[in-house]
Amino acid sequence: MNQPRPSIVTILGHVDHGKTTLLDFIRKASVAAKEHGGITQHIGAYQAMHDGKLITFIDTPGHAAFEKMRSRGAQVADIAVLVVAADDGVMPQTVEAIKHIQAAKVALIVAVNKIDIPGLNLQVQLEKIKRQLSDNKVLVEEYGGDVPIIPLSAKSGLGVDKLLEMIILVAEMSELQADPDVKPTGVVVEANLDKFKGPVATILVRSGTLRKGMQIVLGGSTGKIRGLIDYSGQNIDQAGPSTPVEVLGLEQVPAVGALLGEQATPIASKEVQSLIEKLKSQDTKTLGVVVKADKQGSLEAIEDALSGLNAEVEHVKVIAASTGDVSEADVKLAAATRAIVIGFNVKVAPIASKQAETEHVLIRTYNIIYELLDEIGEVVEAMLKVTQLEEIFGTAQILAEFPYGKNQRIAGCKVLDGHISKGPRVKVTRGDELIAETKLKSIKKLREEVAKVEKGDECGLMFDADIAFQVGDVVQSFRVI
């Protein structure tokens, strides 16, 4: 039997217009301070009480790279609050958010934030914003439409009560209902692999009731619910309609947007092997990347952004993408496919670092998405300008030469930068002239055979070929990307 349920509200708008700050004030919990760069980088769902009425909030990221997540945020909500900064007005991502809201056909409330900025002519700015909204087919009540507009300050809380009252009013007019006794339905708004909890998904329950011990199928990921954790971190036994809840007990991490009961077909291992062999054999200007991220939503956003770097020709290929810290398996996959590993808000396992050194795989980690995109973009630009990219592992200078055996010589060197190790190719240069390219047969330090020497070490290098090197020449260990 249908019963009234809390409204589900999503907060959308341009980056840095105050969406998370607004939620911070509403739920009295500091989220913005915990986010790297002050930018929300994954979806979170929270609940707040106002005048005895419960409201569920979905916090959606504001950066341009998270378009898909914002779109899903609008699609699972009943009401969308569009946050517009009073000083900036309607910006590109504001327009994009409007399109998502209109496509999802949900009720809209406009919140004009930062009204307490010193020197701001609020009336002039409000009129400007109303005109900008009208240009994007959003008619506020003063312009003969049905969209409420609420001026407020998320920082001080001025006007926030009026926004909450309006949300409750709009929800009451919509007569939101759901049956808590039917088979549960819901959508994943966040998912990640926790090293202590295992695969974890934040599910927004739409109807029915999720209960501890229940068997579920979630986007192809099955499991028995071992635990339910609410937005405040408390363990609960059940979660009814409009409730966001963290679910423990899944066999694998589901995709953001996955539905309860939805099946998915996994990629066969032979297909993965076929992809590896294909990438091995091709000779193109393509940067292969293995992507690791803390959250499923962040992962999808990064994949979309990386694909956006490909114009007429594909220059970036995502070999694999998953949540969790960078593991030894990720490094082995990158080595097999001649790719690099990029991590977002994740750590690199010590064994993976050692494997990367052995396999000569480049690992880069980031905390802010636009830094990741900027750096990968620079690599792509460089790839377009040159036939191949070289990654230099270390540089050494030849200080002396020593005879060894019959017609062989050892180069006595000092490592000036990075490290020199067996395995990678080395080149010997004299000024701008390339003398030779080869591999190392042996590295000796204090007459002991070693696998690697670091910056500042003195060593003896024996080349795999007879090279006409001289004292003063430079030796570089490198690989071609």
All structural domains of the chain, each given as residue ranges with its CATH number in brackets, are: 3-176 (3.40.50.300), 185-250 (2.40.30.10), 269-385 (3.40.50.10050), 390-480 (2.40.30.10)
Contact 22, 10 (CB under 8 A): no
Give the global pTM: 0.63
Contact 77, 57 (CB under 8 A): no
Q: Summarize pLDDT for 344-387 with one digit per residue, the tens.
A: 999 999 999 888 888 888 898 988 887 788 778 777 666 555 55
Q: Summarize pLDDT for 284-311 with one digit per residue, the tens.
A: 567 889 999 998 888 888 888 887 776 5
Q: Summarize pLDDT for 60-70 with one digit per residue, the tens.
A: 665 555 566 66
Tokens 């071609």, residue?
A: 480
CA end-to-end span of the chain:
62
d(CA 254, CA 191): 6
User: Cα 357 to the chain's mean position, in Å?
Assistant: 25
Residue 153 tokens read as: 């300050």
- Per-chain mean pLDDT for the chain: 84
Q: Report the share of the chain in percent with pLDDT over 90.
A: 43
**Helix and strand numbers, DSSP H then E, in the chain:** 10, 29
| CA distance to 231, 247, 300, 344, per residue, from 239 (Å) | 11, 10, 27, 31
Beta strands 79-85 and 7-13, pairing class: parallel
Contact 347, 277 (CB under 8 A): no
pLDDT at residue 193, as a whole number:
83
Is the pLDDT confidence value at 343 over 90? yes
Contact 31, 20 (CB under 8 A): yes
Q: Summarize pLDDT for 213-239 with one digit per residue, the tens.
A: 999 988 766 788 999 998 888 899 999
Contact 351, 373 (CB under 8 A): no
Q: Summarize pLDDT for 73-89 with one digit per residue, the tens.
A: 766 889 999 999 999 99
pLDDT at residue 273, as a whole number:
52
pLDDT at residue 389, as a whole number:
60
